Structure 1
């Protein structure tokens, strides 16, 4: 029996095969099993997380999982593009055999076709690219540059594109990326309030600040002397 292992090959990853675990010396298998107990392991139905895992290790696992999730969209898109280009009469059978949903794969493949490998930005997510897939190449590059430079989230990128289409000044768009240092306890408090309101934190903050500003300005107008 053979098992797949992923090995590093410069900046890419390739599948290789090694001998079955049964052929590995017993002492070595015991050492490997012992070391795996201290690792975060993936299975088809979830994660095995060891008791007492350090925060730094838990955080690193999250970054790795996030990276895999983002990369998998590109992988599946490229996989379908290749299948359609090389197995026009059989690729649908391959999709069914893999147990994948064609509609989802088609979306991945469309984005993959719109962005050649050399044009994809590792610092930005697949969803960033998906937001721009329908635009001409020149506009895609412009927005990718801005999103990467400003460290925009997908939502901020979407809002910036919408604002430009609606004629909102660019200064207003870029102002949305300014950061405010907030103590952790206050941030948790705000998250709780936003959850109670049934809104996202960013929307709740904007609505609350707008309401507060309107109230202050209204009070200021009342205090103006009558002429």
Structure 2
């Protein structure tokens, strides 16, 4: 009986197909039973069942997640083989280089054989700055416990927090002090709150992530002007910002 119910549900789900406008079919001839992708949105039939709507969402989320890996691999390939022309390819494709750099950095940190299909690109992005052994350990935990991105981030932050007292005490006598503008401090505090962690841990995690990018990739993006603070995370490639959604 259980198998029959599963088969019936699978049959219903298989009826929900994600179509594409690339066939250039006139709007009036589009099949009403399909969810049709357009360049600026979706055309969803009024009679779509819940199962069909659910399956369409599943397929769309898979495309979004995979596209981050695809674009990252695409840029890595272009930079390696067309060092003098890859920027022209990016411009021709109408893509944002800073966002692509984030994708490419994560793609470099995780070769194909180390990527987990059961976890999102964002799961991998959260721990990309860690050594390979730690990456694998956290990916194992996230896969085993079915963690969301936020749960993985919180677990990593909690583990780092346990190490702070020892490392902070060892560095207390030699640590330099920084004079920070009030605006930066307030913005960092807001970013830490949005990331679900405290300010100190957010600063440490961000600096560690940035250091890893410079050491591994050998590149760094100039600090944006004060007028571009809304895109500061995207430009710097900070943890959890490459196509991030805060709770997936």
Fold shared, TM-score > 0.5 on shorter chain? yes
Name the structure, 1 or 2, with higher relative contact order (CA <8 Å, separation 6+): 2
- 1:159 — aligned with what? 154
Measure how far apart 1:37 and its partner are: 2.2
Structure (1/2) with the larger strand percentage: 1
Equivalent position of 2:128 in the other structure: 133
Corresponding residue SS for 1:47? strand
Question: What is the rounded CA distance, in whole Å, between the counterparts of 1:136 and 1:103 in structure 2?
Answer: 24
Bigger Cα Rg: 1
Aligned to 2:46: 51
Unaligned runs of 5+ in 2: 1-21, 164-192, 197-248
When the two structures are aligned, how many residues end up with a matched partner?
143
Report the Cα distance in structure 1 between the residues aligned to 2:112 and 2:131, rounded to whole angstroms.
17
CA distances 1:175-206 after superposition (whole Å, capped 9, x unpaired): xxxxxxxxxxxxxxxxxxxxxxxx99x9xxxx
Task: Classify 1:21/1:47 alpha carbon distance in 2 versus 1 (closer, same or farther; 3 Å).
Answer: closer
Find out whether 1:94 has 2:89 as its counterpart: yes
Matches within 5 A, 1:63-78: 63-78=58-73
Alignment pair present for 1:146 and 2:141: yes
Matched, 1:110 2:111: no
TM-score normalised according to structure 1 size: 0.59
Distance in 1 of aligned mates of 2:156 and 2:70: 27
Q: What SS does the aligned partner of 1:89 have?
A: coil
Q: Which runs of at least 4 in structure 1 moved beyond 4 Å after TM superposition?
A: none
CA distance in 2, matches of 1:155, 1:37: 38
Structure-1 separation of matches of 2:76 and 2:52:
36
Aligned counterparts of 2:47 and 2:105: Cα–Cα separation in 1: 43
Deviation of 1:67 (Å): 0.6
> What value does the CA root-mean-square deviation take over the aligned residues?
2.5
